[in-house]
Chain A
Amino acid sequence: MTEMPALERRYRRLLAWYPAEHRRLNGEEMIGVLLAGARAGQRRPRPSDALDLIRGGLRIRLRSLLSGNLDSKLTDALAVYSIIVPVVLLISGAIWATGTNYRWLRETSNMALWWRLQPLGFESLYLALILLPPILVWRRHRRAAVVLALVPAAFATVGAFRLSATSGVVGDSASSLLLMLQAVALAVSPGPRRGLQLLSKPAWAVVCAAGLAAAVPYTPQTEVFFGMPATEAILVVGGVVVTVLAAMLVTLPARVGFRIISLLAAPVYLYGISLPLYGAPSSLISYSLAIVYLPCLALWVLIGIMAWLGRQRRVRATG
């Protein structure tokens, strides 16, 4: 068989649409079949072949999702996520509640992430709703955990679905994604036990640092910015976010780190443009709600429901 390195490279890229397990078992064989069907000197896959490959990959992914199998790296990332979210909220909430180091929190409290993420208005109830679910999953009461976790997620989602181009709404959309993802993570991941296995001491340090950073209210008025103009302050905030995310990437196992970053990307972006610091124009907010928030929400709710149903089916089958 003649070597067709360019074509083979392109076919391999298309195979990325297939689950990793399937690629591992059948990838080489598929490349062989694809190259066998290629014309001499062909450098690009035919569009119909490419589309067919993508469809096949999606079909196989969908099938494994419906039978309750999610990619293990993704479920590992979700397991870590299910711990990170409560810990960050706990730390930032505790700082806010005591108001010790950040005493201007109480005046400008509506800008802190902590305030943003308590749409119910009752701090202790909210804390319970954040902390209890992972504990319940630990104690094997997964259904109760998911139901509890959905309460704050539902409130934030209702707030976000006002769908007006205001910073409040886009802030709620960030919370909605963050909390909905938490519910999905609790529903379909191996749980906090697995997450704890994956969190090394350096990773814990990063998570705690993220909690501290999340407690800071990012407005131009606070003393944190020492009268910096908004543009410089944005750079500082951006720098903090990038540093925390990069640190997470470094301290977590490679594939898990990447997936956590991609899970957090949309909520962090949405929260970022909700800050009065940034002063986002309402057109950007509208586009972000339509193009970032709604598709991400739909995607994760669908994945969560299908994986949950598949999991139930599998549990029932094995008794």
Chain B
Amino acid sequence: MTTLNINGKDYELALEGHVTLLEVLRDTLGFTGTKTACDEAECGACSVIIDGRSVLSCITLAQDCVGKKITTIEGLARGEDLLHPIQEAFIKEAAVQCGFCMPGMIIATKALLDKNPAPTEKEIQKGLDGNICRCAGYPQIMKAVKHASKLMREDNA
């Protein structure tokens, strides 16, 4: 049996070596917020945070995540009715169009802002460079990240 720590909780799982983290999250545990899209580690829709860094779960073996802290999009909200400031910001700035890239974008934003609470525009572009939005909603996404940065700094002040 393998233990994976996901969103602060331990899950005991019978895993085979070749199973990716993405498959465990979606198919075994029902965390379908993390998306299967390009399947080539190019689009970022499968992004999760492992030990503070955004990674691509479609090319991560689940067994290699033992002992690490995994955060998915489901782990961000602060309660049933309380969104994370990043989620609030993305909604307020109308950054969500079709929504498919959003979990990955928000996860990448969380990883960025946890490391760099007040990024410049260039740093935001770089921090989210592993996430593609086919709706081309980048201007709104940029605004949302800046807004989220402000909200998180106010939260921490």
Is A bound to B? no
Question: Chain A: residues with CB nearer than 8 A to chain B?
Answer: none
Question: Chain B: residues with CB nearer than 8 A to chain A?
Answer: none
